[in-house]
Amino acid sequence: MSDRKKALDMALKTIEKQFGKGSIMKLGERANQKIATVSTGSLALDIALGVGGYPRGRVVEIYGPESSGKTTVSLHAIAAAQKNGGTAAFIDAEHGVSCF
C-alpha cells in the first residue's frame, strides 16, 4: 500500500471516529440512505434535491445570483421546519431582510 493511500485511509478513519460512521461517503460506493427531511414546499425542488427535501439536522447552504429567490426559498424552508416542530436559523449574509 502506498504512503498516499495509507495517509488517506488514516484521515478517513480519524474523521469517522470523530464524526461517526457514515460521515464520509464515496461517490457510487453505496445506495442512497433514507434520511429524515423537511419538504421545501415545492415538489419539483424536493425531487431535484434527491432526498425529498432538506435533510434534518444538517447545515444547508442556498446560494445563487442576486434576486434569484434565495431568501424566499430559505424562509419557506424555515417555515416548513417550524410548522413540523423543528428549529431553524436564517443567516442573512447579504443583509437583504429588513425587520422594520
Given this model, what pLDDT does residue 65 score? Answer: 92
Of 17, 22, 30, residue with least CA distance to 55: 22
> Which residues are within 8 A (CB) of 87 and not within 5 positions of it... i.e. 6 or more apart?
81
**pLDDT tens-digit profile, the chain (100 residues):** 789 999 999 999 999 999 887 778 777 776 667 788 988 878 898 899 888 898 888 888 888 998 898 888 888 888 888 888 888 888 887 777 777 6
DSSP 8-state secondary structure symbol assigned to residue 34: P
pLDDT computed for residue 84 by the predictor: 84
Q: pTM of this prediction?
A: 0.58
Q: How far apart are CA 55 and CA 78, in angstroms?
A: 12
Q: Are 16 and 8 in contact (CB under 8 A)?
A: no
DSSP class of residue 54 equals E
